[in-house]
Chains A and B, each alone.
Chain A
Amino acid sequence: MSDPIRIMVVDDHPMWRDAVERDLQAAGFDVVAVAADGHQALARFPAARPQVVVLDLQIPGPNGVEVTAQVLQHDPSARVLILSASGEQADVLEAVKAGATGYLVKSASREELLDAVRRVAAGDTVFTPGLAGLVLGEFRRIADGPATDPRDELTERETEILKMVAKGMSYKQIAERLVISHRTVQNHVQNTLRKLQMNNRVQLTRWAIEHGLDDED
């Protein structure tokens, strides 16, 4: 059997952090680090080199969105799974734009969490219906905005699949319904996230150029 997946748990509630850590260890994962705030998370990440960061968005210090961005800048092969209590919608969307590939609310069951960690570690994206709705809304706003690059927009297929995710269908159900493979559904969903992150980077770069921040180079 291959090595266990290395995980870091970031949460400022000790009770919750312990519970998640215990569940993960019981399921055979290797919890290589825990952190109670953004500073600790960023300090411990380089040495611990986790493959998956299970991250609460509402943490003190650099918040979950900043931690996501910095961790992925440091190690692009790492994966970030957002575990959020309140489902603060704007924050969740920002974290996904910053590169998080999974999102769960804390009321998800133990099994859902373990499954999500495995899938995120394997490079899959974990969407909740709520997140799919947010992403759909974001693409609508991008499409309605000025000067849209067609490559930024979702294809009809991608929109169709994202809508199905938002209506609570599993990838398996979607695959059966559209008579395509599970892997194809997965790829389409991943593409939507990639486009969202790409658009975010393009926006940031454009902003930097407009404000003359590229002169330093």
Chain B
Amino acid sequence: MADRLFRALALVRVVVTLNLIVLNTYRRDNYDHPWAAVAVVAALVAWTGYAIWASSSARRRTTMFFVLDLGWAVGSLAATPLVKGADFNATIPGFWVMGALLAWAIRWHWKGGLAAATILSVTDLALRDSIDQANYGNVFLLMIGGPIVGYMCKSLQRMAVERDLAERAAAAAEERTRLARAVHDGVLQVLALVQRRGTGSDNADFAELAGLAGEQERALRSLIRQQGTVTPDAAERDLAGMLEERGSSHRLRVEVATPGVPVAMPSAVAEEITAAVGACLDNVAHHVGPDARAWVLLEAMPDQVVVSVRDDGPGIPPGRLESAVEEGRMGVTGSIRGRIEDLGGSATLDTGSHGTEWELTVPRRAE
């Protein structure tokens, strides 16, 4: 960043030096000692060339360099009455002093700008017999401009540092994600392969290992999906991700189908629905057995969400639910219905030889 500012300053230096040469050539008749004036201007041009080269590298931008830079400006100002006579109007360097002033502002920010402006102003005013409005105006601009440019340089440099940090953090995060994907993909492949080889193996240990590999594969796959579906707002949560998580962590083998994009719901509502789905799955495990399979489907419409939980069990015998209610055992059915109705939705149960299916419908809050 500092390099860029000094490159910009090099351009300013070239412009003010050209201005210096042209103005002094134009006013060559004003000098008491013209050859001395030529020597001063030549020295300033030479210094400008050196200064542009020196300031292009951080290593060469020493404190001594900045002191000399300002020294040339002050020195050439101070030489003016000697070369032009005591009643001079314009100084020899004129706007050329801006180079040193801005260099100090870049190097030491507002303090540098203020210090250089003060030194230049005091020198300029001390040389003059009388001070007119133009002199005052120049000094005023110098005193205002030096610190302001310095302050802005500091802000620019800070912003550049912050931007670099942000860019680095983003690049690191991206790289981490890429690595995680590669690692996850490899781990998933191996887990899937172990599961595939071992399932149905005569070796009981291997078959058990295959089962464990399968569980871990499902859990990891679900975790990866959820990573991609985090909703930033804490007041809302992604129902799809929560159902994925609940399904994969359940002891049954559960397949969860979602629309593939986050389904944002108010946190409390999403938690209640997830809890109700958990109760449905527990019910399946209890009534059908630990080997039962279950499927969860989430559909998101603009005005409502529908969650279906289906199992492949033999179904609930007719009259069983009614008798349970009559006996005062509300049980699971009541807890599922109760949760969903509290959310303003409805829960319907469909059971038969094809299995048992809960359909939970919950309205989405109007936007």
Binding site for B on A (CB under 8 A): 13, 15-16, 19, 58, 85-87, 89-90, 93, 105-110, 128-130, 132-134, 136-138, 140-141, 144, 163, 166-169, 173, 176-177
Contact = CB atoms under 8 A, between A and B. Distances in A.
Contact of B189 (A106, A136, A168, A173): A106
Given A86-B184, A87-B225, A16 B189 contact: yes
B185 A86 contact: yes
Nearest to B255: A129
Contacts of B218: 107
A128 B295 CA distance: 11
Interface size class of B (residues with CB under 8 A): 35 or more
Given A106-B189, A129-B297, A86 B224 contact: yes
B113 interface: no
Contact of A107 (B186, B196, B297): B196
Contacts of B319: none
A107 B192 contact: yes
B188 A86 contact: yes
Contacts of A15: 189-190, 193
A144 B221 CA distance: 30
B22 interface: no
B199 interface: yes
A90 B258 CA distance: 12
B354 A173 contact: yes
Contacts of A166: 257, 295, 297
Given A86-B184, A89-B225, A167-B308, A132 B257 contact: yes
A128 B224 CA distance: 19
B179 to A, nearest CB: 14
Contacts of B295: 129, 166-168
B297 A163 contact: yes
B197 A19 contact: yes
B255 A130 contact: yes
A13 B199 CA distance: 21
Given A137-B260, A168-B310, A86 B221 contact: yes
Contact of A93 (B199, B225, B260): B260
A163 B299 CA distance: 9
Contacts of A133: 257-260, 297-299
A169 B257 CA distance: 13
16 contacts: A15-B193, A93-B260, A106-B192, A106-B193, A107-B196, A107-B218, A110-B199, A130-B256, A134-B259, A141-B259, A163-B297, A163-B308, A166-B257, A167-B357, A168-B293, A176-B354
Which 6 pairs from chain A and chain B are nearest by CB? Answer: A137-B259, A133-B257, A168-B295, A106-B192, A89-B260, A85-B188
Contacts of B300: 137, 140
Nearest to B299: A136
A13 B189 contact: yes
A140 B299 contact: yes
Contacts of A16: 189, 192-193
A129 B310 CA distance: 12
B354 A167 contact: no
B259 A107 contact: no
A191 B185 CA distance: 32
Nearest to B294: A168
A130 B221 CA distance: 12
Given A85-B185, A106-B196, A130-B257, 20 more contacts: A15-B189, A19-B193, A19-B197, A85-B192, A85-B221, A90-B260, A93-B260, A106-B189, A107-B192, A110-B196, A133-B259, A137-B259, A137-B260, A137-B261, A138-B259, A140-B259, A141-B259, A167-B257, A168-B312, A173-B354
A109 B259 contact: no
B302 interface: yes
Contacts of A108: 196
A105 B258 CA distance: 16
Contacts of A168: 255, 293-295, 310, 312
Contacts of B312: 168
Contacts of A176: 354
